[in-house]
A and B are shown apart, each in its own frame.
Chain A
Amino acid sequence: MMKRIWVIVANILIIISMVVFVFIYSSFEANNIQKTQIEHFENTTVTMERVTENYLEGEQRICDVWAHYINSQDMTMDDAISFIRVSHVLKSASAHIIYKDDTLAGKSTKPRKGTTDDYHVSYKDFDFLKDLSWIHEIGTSINISRAYTDSISGDQSIAFCNFVTLHEGGTDKEAILLRVLPEAELREKCLFHLEEFKTAELSIIDVNGNYIIKGQSFKNSSFFEFFKSYNKLEPVAQQELFNKIISSTGSFSMFNSKDEKCIVAYTPFDEAGGWTLISLIPIKNLNLSTQNWLLVGVITTGLFVLFIFDLLVMLSLNKKLKLTAKEAESASRAKTDFLSTMSHDIRTPMNAIIGLTTIAEKNINDQKSVSESLRKINSASNHLLTLINDILDISKVESGKLNFTPQSFSIVETVENLMNLSQPMIKDKNINFSFHISRMDKEHLYADQLRLNQIYINILSNAIKYTEPGGSVTVDMKEEDSLKEGSVKLTYRVSDTGIGMSKEYMEHLYQPFSRQTDSRVNKIQGTGLGLAITKQMVDLMKGTIECESEQGKGTTFTVTLDIPVSEHQRGEMKLEEMDVLLVDDDEVLLETGSDTLKSLGLKVEEASSGLEALGMIKHRESTGKNYDIVIIDLKMPDIDGIETIRRIREEIKTNVPILLISAYSYSDVEEDAKKVGVNGFLTKPLFRSTLYDKLSEILGKQTESDEAENDYSDLEGSNILIAEDNEINWEIISTLLSMYGINTERAENGRVCVEKLKEAPENKYLLVFMDIQMPEMNGLEATRTIRKFEKHWAKDIPIVAMTADAFSENVAECLNAGMNAHIAKPIDIKLVMKVIQKIKEESKL
């Protein structure tokens, strides 16, 4: 804050300094210009003095000539007046001759205005003829009076004077000849004719400041009075100024009657008379350049604008910097929090793993204790794996590096996978679970299956996790038309009767590491990343995720995604017309299942309980129109599915094929079911293809029981080449596979793998498990090399990536390199076996 103030202060000081400099410089320049103009005005005034003096000299000469002539001719007053009348040519001028005595009276060449015969004139009341010293000898100077009111014409006039001698009655009589001219006429001659000084005016003053000739702008009867009237000056300074005016050439400034500042230039005029010519011009009328002021204005404004601009930019940058710093701080804090949380969340299962391993070691002879420890270690390991996956996912999401690898997949497989993964938890918590589908016409879609699985599993596993034992979890999956061409709108809704969420928590539901503060929640394992990842992935897939929750009552998550439909869809699925009885207490399943079966071309009857089903089958039996197939739900309220089947087989003695359906795992009831005569198992939800396949199978092989899921006996003796550089990993996989009677051979890196395959006799290996990151030659390169084999059986050998590079792009990379499948480490042996079995089956075809 302080630094910013100093920067602003420094800027302001610089601006002020520059403006002051420019101002001083401009003032200096303006002063120079003004000085030059004033000097020019002074010089012009001096020139005007010469012009005026020449003009007045000319007028004086006329008076001189008249005086000479009168003096030379011994004229009387009347003679002289007559002579002048004759020689007078100017209409506006007149001449007066007055006796140089106390009367100062005489005659005029013209009669008094308004009369025809009054030629009498008297100058007795005029002060300027009381002292005649200013009238010099003829031809020696300009003898001009001050401006006065001519009593004959009434005009303000001036008079050029000379002494004359009249000859009256034989004696000489001294007289004064006055050539009288209107002052206005003279003033006109004394105008400045320069354009730049057009408004300037001239006056001529005597030593006392009295006007001899008075310009229009000059006020009062004396210039000095004029000055005093409108200007304040100390008497001494004032007198000094007046003395200067009447004795030298120069200029000064003063205010006129309009309070305008004026320049007054003065110069001696007719030194013999002691007069001064003064010129006056308002300073505003001097042609002073204003360019410098413009410069000052422009520079000041420019600097100010620049300053404001810089200030705004600076403030904006500061704001951004602050924001960035805040974000950095927040990021740093987030990182610290993240690491702290990670540390805690990783250490917790690790603690369990290490601790339980120690316990198992100590109780190595207690099989039960070891088994329990290993079960717990397994659980902790799985949690740790989930956590690591989630962390990696969220980091990829947040760094914007999460890519999708779309591929064609079956939504049926996705749902099966979902069911398989959730079953153990459902079973553990004894949760009432139901999974409904409706209108699932398009079973093959095109998307990143792994990510879609992840979304669905996250939501479902959360629902199961946060539902108390005995609670309910319901999944609804619905396919609708999408606005996007070639896509379907897949809605996935999971409702639970779990603990629910508070409104406060829901506000930051999707933030990483957010978990509701609840004693019940704390008991539940979770990374706090699942929903954050889910939300990010839904967003990236341009879908929506909505949540409705009420604390203590439960939560419903709804994910809606537009998913492109795969080009590959199964052909028409139709069965021969048969009567099917569908038994379930779940009305929704009855409705949707019935629809699906009908779509396969079957006739469907529904029973909502085992007893009802028994009655219906008995009825059919009695009428001889047996059902062709009976599909019975495992869990029903009165008598369950197995009991119903037992009673069907025992009481009705019918061989009708019966399929047992359930949303739960069959592992616990499989044996009992088979004993009572179940012909096959179906896992809910009932997809069309699932039903079609199963019914086709049942109808074709009625007596064959469903293939056991975990029967890998045909894989015994198979040879698998495993490219793995890590000793422990090699040991794990080879040991696990050996448990199923599978022989393994190790290649320490890609190059060894390629060589072994090259040298191996045909079909020596069923497949290759290929690690990716290996020395000398990695798995991808090795795969590409193998696929390039020429005329070699191994060119097409199934290669399955077995790697810790578990991201979808890694999967895509593997497939692109020519591999057939991808298994992520740590490995799930069940999954591995499934893959092997699938490959084995495919190889049979």
Chain B
Amino acid sequence: MKKLFNILTSIGAVAMLVSCGNSGGDTTEGFKPTLDPETKCSIKVIGDYSNFEALEEEFDRFNEYYPNVDLAYEKIDGYNNNLATVLEREDKPNIFFSYTWMNGNDKYKSVFDHMEELSDSNLKLNLDSIRPSLLTRDKDNKVFMVPVFSRTYGTLVNNDLFKKEGLSIPKTWNDLLSVCDSFIEKGYTSPLMGYSLKTSSSLMNTVAYPAFLAALKDNPEAFAKANNLEQSAGVYMRESLEKVKQLIDSKRINLEECDKISDNYTKVIMRFFEGDVPMMICAGDTVSGTKKRESQSEAYTKSPFTYTYHPIPLTDKGGYFVDSPSVEFSVNKNCNDLDMTNEFMRFLVTKEELSNMASLKRLVTPTKEMTFDPVYAPFNEVSSDHTILPEVLGVKDGLSIQIRVASYRVGRKQLTIDEAIEQYGSFEDK
């Protein structure tokens, strides 16, 4: 973890030098209100989370400074499709979820037109508190989106089940295979499980994506081709696709069982809490829902167990830590009460508040000082050469879609690995 932190700090230092003057961050500890505390107004944050209790708690904390500011979170149906329209409506939202993949996508051009430049020194946002590797800057080094959570990929592990069966949590690829075999021998139908019905958040992508990026990260030429969706880059997917195929073909991942999980979030968690799944493959976003649902699971309430979130050990040296932004916040520059909106952002974009929110949400904080929830403790052991920073690499959404769709279709046997490689650059996520 120290190595990782050193890397991040180094990157941060470089980025700070580059962005000197752009990020007029308020580095002093503690939030100090700059507007009239009696100000009355409304701030609406929109996004695609059904529930956002962690943010609502931040609303309450902000209300301690500005008690008359009415803050609300609103879930938008069909967020990605409707965002542009919603930003145009009469009751204009003040803050909205934004994602790195929107960058460069013409569909979201109007969305970007609404975005306020958050690196404007006048706003005094403490962008220095955020790991530079998670900050997306445009060609002019401007920042329009601030990550509030970071995301990674891995598998939830039922520690008690491993203990019960006398098995050790796998550290290498071979360990993983043999542990799965041992579980199968002991009668477990699918030692590895995950969501498998759609491409989005599918277990196939969770396994393949880190491996694909690992294959590209030290090969700039190949990475450039992959980012440009050149078909020739498809070959770099092979190893990652083979791993997916091997796990599914060997029934270490039993797709029939996995298909019973009807959604990629709540059902995944509730299935894991049944207590008979040794490893549940999922993204960090899903891990964020575990805390709240412990009490909602009858099985878990009756027989609670300890669990941790691990990188999937795809190599002989272990797994990868893909440190990428999850949800990012952008400010609608056309909204009402822009001053108070920026005041809220200034309040939120601090080490304390972002860490607090990440802790409540059980996600990884985007701040420089990473304080992991104990569930994420295994990621402390990932070596620096196994840490992948997509934003630093400059991964584009298209690349992500290619591996997401390819891995899903190979996993579901809709394509062979060769066919998938052949079709690189042509996959669309519909």
Interface residues of A (CB under 8 A from B): 112-114, 125-126, 148-149, 151-156, 184, 216, 219-222, 225-226, 228-230, 232, 234-236, 238, 257-258
Counting CB contacts under 8 A, is B105 at the interface?
no
Nearest 3 A/B pairs, CB to CB? A154-B89, A154-B86, A221-B50
Residues of B within 8 A of A222 (CB): 50
A219–B88 Cα distance when bound, in Å, is 24
Query: Which residue of B60, B82, B89, B297 contacts A257 across the interface (Cβ within 8 Å)?
Result: B60
User: How many residues belonging to B are interface residues under a CB distance threshold of 8 Å?
Assistant: 31
A231–B62 Cα distance when bound, in Å, is 23
Residues of B within 8 A of A184 (CB): 91
A226–B296 Cα distance when bound, in Å, is 13
- Of A125, A152, A222, A230, chain B has the most CB atoms within 10 Å of the CB of A125
Counting CB contacts under 8 A, is B232 at the interface?
no
Residues of A within 8 A of B86 (CB): 149, 154
B77 engages A126 (CB within 8 Å): yes
A152–B301 Cα distance when bound, in Å, is 44
Say which one of B68-76, B176-184, B237-245 lies at the interface with A.
B68-76
B85 engages A154 (CB within 8 Å): yes
Counting CB contacts under 8 A, is B161 at the interface?
no
Contact with A along B280-301 (1 / 0, CB 8 A): 0000000000001001111001
A280–B143 Cα distance when bound, in Å, is 41
Counting CB contacts under 8 A, is B228 at the interface?
no
Residues of B within 8 A of A149 (CB): 76-78, 82, 86
Residues of A within 8 A of B77 (CB): 125-126, 148-149
Nearest CB on A from B110, distance (A)? 7
B50 engages A225 (CB within 8 Å): yes
A22–B78 Cα distance when bound, in Å, is 59
A154–B53 Cα distance when bound, in Å, is 23
Query: Which residue of A229, A230, A236, A257 contacts B298 across the interface (Cβ within 8 Å)?
Result: A236
The residue of chain A having its C-beta at the shortest distance from the C-beta of B83 within the complex is A154
Nearest CB on B from A157, distance (A)? 10
Nearest CB on A from B398, distance (A)? 22
A816–B91 Cα distance when bound, in Å, is 118
A153 engages B53 (CB within 8 Å): no
Counting CB contacts under 8 A, is B84 at the interface?
yes
Q: Are A219 and B53 also in contact (CB < 8 A) when A149-B82, A151-B81, A235-B298 are?
A: yes
Which residues 48-68 of B have a CB within 8 angstroms of A?
50-51, 53, 56-57, 60
The residue of chain A having its C-beta at the shortest distance from the C-beta of B110 within the complex is A114
Residues of B within 8 A of A229 (CB): 51, 53, 292
Residues of A within 8 A of B50 (CB): 220-222, 225
Which residues 131-154 of B have a CB within 8 angstroms of A?
none
Interface residues of B (CB under 8 A from A): 50-51, 53, 56-57, 60, 70, 72-78, 81-82, 84-91, 110, 292, 295-298, 301
Residues of B within 8 A of A220 (CB): 50-51, 53
Nearest CB on A from B340, distance (A)? 18
Q: Are A228 and B292 also in contact (CB < 8 A) when A114-B110, A235-B301 are?
A: yes
A228–B295 Cα distance when bound, in Å, is 9
Residues of B within 8 A of A151 (CB): 78, 81-82, 85
Residues of A within 8 A of B73 (CB): 219
A148–B74 Cα distance when bound, in Å, is 10
Nearest CB on A from B275, distance (A)? 15
Query: Which residue of A126, A156, A234 contacts B74 across the interface (Cβ within 8 Å)?
Result: A156
A113–B93 Cα distance when bound, in Å, is 14
A153 engages B85 (CB within 8 Å): yes
- Of A112, A152, A153, chain B has the most CB atoms within 10 Å of the CB of A153
Q: Are A216 and B53 also in contact (CB < 8 A) when A113-B85, A155-B89 are?
A: no
Residues of B within 8 A of A225 (CB): 50-51
Residues of A within 8 A of B110 (CB): 114
A460–B86 Cα distance when bound, in Å, is 122
B87 engages A154 (CB within 8 Å): yes
B75 engages A221 (CB within 8 Å): yes
Nearest CB on A from B1, distance (A)? 31
User: What are 21 sample pairs from A and B whose C-beta atoms fall under 8 A apart?
Assistant: A112-B85, A113-B85, A113-B88, A125-B77, A149-B78, A149-B82, A152-B85, A154-B85, A154-B86, A154-B89, A155-B90, A219-B53, A220-B51, A220-B53, A221-B51, A222-B50, A226-B51, A228-B292, A228-B296, A232-B295, A257-B56
Residues of A within 8 A of B74 (CB): 156
Nearest CB on A from B194, distance (A)? 23
The residue of chain B having its C-beta at the shortest distance from the C-beta of A257 within the complex is B56
The residue of chain B having its C-beta at the shortest distance from the C-beta of A211 within the complex is B75
Q: Are A235 and B296 also in contact (CB < 8 A) when A154-B86, A221-B75 are?
A: yes
A151–B89 Cα distance when bound, in Å, is 10
Residues of A within 8 A of B88 (CB): 113-114, 154
A153 engages B295 (CB within 8 Å): no
Nearest CB on A from B24, distance (A)? 32
Residues of A within 8 A of B296 (CB): 228, 235, 238
A221–B75 Cα distance when bound, in Å, is 7
Residues of B within 8 A of A238 (CB): 296
A258 engages B297 (CB within 8 Å): no
The residue of chain A having its C-beta at the shortest distance from the C-beta of B86 within the complex is A154
A546–B51 Cα distance when bound, in Å, is 99
A152–B81 Cα distance when bound, in Å, is 11
A257–B70 Cα distance when bound, in Å, is 14
Residues of B within 8 A of A235 (CB): 295-298, 301
Nearest CB on A from B295, distance (A)? 6
Query: Which residue of B81, B91, B301 contacts A155 across the interface (Cβ within 8 Å)?
Result: B91
A232–B296 Cα distance when bound, in Å, is 9
The residue of chain B having its C-beta at the shortest distance from the C-beta of A256 within the complex is B56
Besides A184-B91, A257-B56, 18 new A-B residue pairs in contact (Cβ under 8 A), listed by A number? A113-B88, A114-B84, A114-B85, A126-B78, A148-B77, A154-B85, A155-B91, A219-B51, A219-B73, A221-B50, A225-B50, A229-B51, A234-B301, A235-B295, A235-B296, A235-B297, A236-B298, A258-B60
Nearest CB on A from B41, distance (A)? 14
The residue of chain A having its C-beta at the shortest distance from the C-beta of B63 within the complex is A258
Nearest CB on A from B383, distance (A)? 38
The residue of chain A having its C-beta at the shortest distance from the C-beta of B266 within the complex is A225
A154 engages B82 (CB within 8 Å): yes
Residues of B within 8 A of A234 (CB): 301
Nearest CB on B from A188, distance (A)? 13
Residues of B within 8 A of A219 (CB): 51, 53, 56, 73
A221–B53 Cα distance when bound, in Å, is 11
The residue of chain A having its C-beta at the shortest distance from the C-beta of B49 within the complex is A221
The residue of chain A having its C-beta at the shortest distance from the C-beta of B90 within the complex is A155
Residues of A within 8 A of B292 (CB): 228-229
The residue of chain B having its C-beta at the shortest distance from the C-beta of A239 within the complex is B298
A125 engages B298 (CB within 8 Å): no
Residues of A within 8 A of B90 (CB): 155
A113–B84 Cα distance when bound, in Å, is 9
A187–B50 Cα distance when bound, in Å, is 20
Residues of B within 8 A of A155 (CB): 89-91
The residue of chain A having its C-beta at the shortest distance from the C-beta of B72 within the complex is A216
A228–B51 Cα distance when bound, in Å, is 11
The residue of chain B having its C-beta at the shortest distance from the C-beta of A156 within the complex is B74
Query: Which residue of B81, B87, B89 contacts A153 across the interface (Cβ within 8 Å)?
Result: B89
Residues of A within 8 A of B75 (CB): 221
The residue of chain B having its C-beta at the shortest distance from the C-beta of A92 within the complex is B90
The residue of chain A having its C-beta at the shortest distance from the C-beta of B295 within the complex is A232
A153–B85 Cα distance when bound, in Å, is 7
Nearest CB on A from B56, distance (A)? 5
Nearest CB on A from B205, distance (A)? 21
Residues of B within 8 A of A228 (CB): 292, 295-296
Residues of A within 8 A of B84 (CB): 114
The residue of chain A having its C-beta at the shortest distance from the C-beta of B50 within the complex is A221
A359–B3 Cα distance when bound, in Å, is 129
A112–B82 Cα distance when bound, in Å, is 10
